[in-house]
Amino acid sequence: MTVATVKVKGLRELNSALKRYDRELGKNLERELLVAAQLVADNARSRFSVIDARSAAGMRPRIRGFGRVVVEQRYRRTTGQHPEFGSLQMRRALLPAMREEEPMVVKTIEGLLDRLGAEEGF
């Protein structure tokens, strides 16, 4: 039985570089997604400020795992006298804001992908 040994020089460095690349990609992606989500949050704030200015001020974008950003309400419910207040925020502010800002969100993400492709020579 013949035993062959293969040594690859630079494999550890390649693995390290790929991990670094993924981290940078993740940071760039999160930054761009936050910019896109900020557009939605601003639109939702302006829509909801006529109903409840304090609640509208609590809408903000937030990262939820790799590649996932949401616009959430950071203030907790205060009285509980309007049990469907969250659905009111969704119907009157968040969903219409997302529909209106969708073209800009898509444009922002496409811009990120184009820049990454140009930087990496694709």
Tell me if 14 is assigned to some domain: no
Rounded Cα–Cα distance for residues 65 and 55 (Å): 25
**pLDDT above 80 (res 71):** yes
Average pLDDT over every residue of 36-42? 91
Q: Do residues 37 and 94 touch, judged by C-beta distance below 8 A? A: no
Task: Report the domain count for the chain.
Answer: 1
pLDDT in tens, 6-23: 455 665 665 566 566 666
Place of tokens 């639109």: 43
Measured CA angle at 23 (ends 22, 26), to 5 deg? 85
Tell me if 10 is assigned to some domain: no
- pLDDT number for residue 43: 93
Rounded Cα–Cα distance for residues 88 and 38 (Å): 20
Which phi and psi angles does 84 have, rounded to 5°?
-105, 30
Tell me if 63 is assigned to some domain: yes
Tell me if 23 is assigned to some domain: no
Q: Do residues 45 and 100 touch, judged by C-beta distance below 8 A? A: no
Tell me if 122 is assigned to some domain: no
**pLDDT above 50 (res 85):** yes
Tell me if 4 is assigned to some domain: no
Query: What rounded mean pLDDT belongs to the chain?
Result: 77
Tell me if 6 is assigned to some domain: no
Name the pLDDT band for 72 (thresholds 50, 70, 90): confident
For residue 44, what are the domain limits?
32-117
pTM above 0.95? no
Rounded Cα–Cα distance for residues 49 and 60 (Å): 14
Tell me if 27 is assigned to some domain: no
Q: Is residue 60 classed as helix, strand or coil in its secondary structure?
A: strand
Average pLDDT over every residue of 48-76? 83
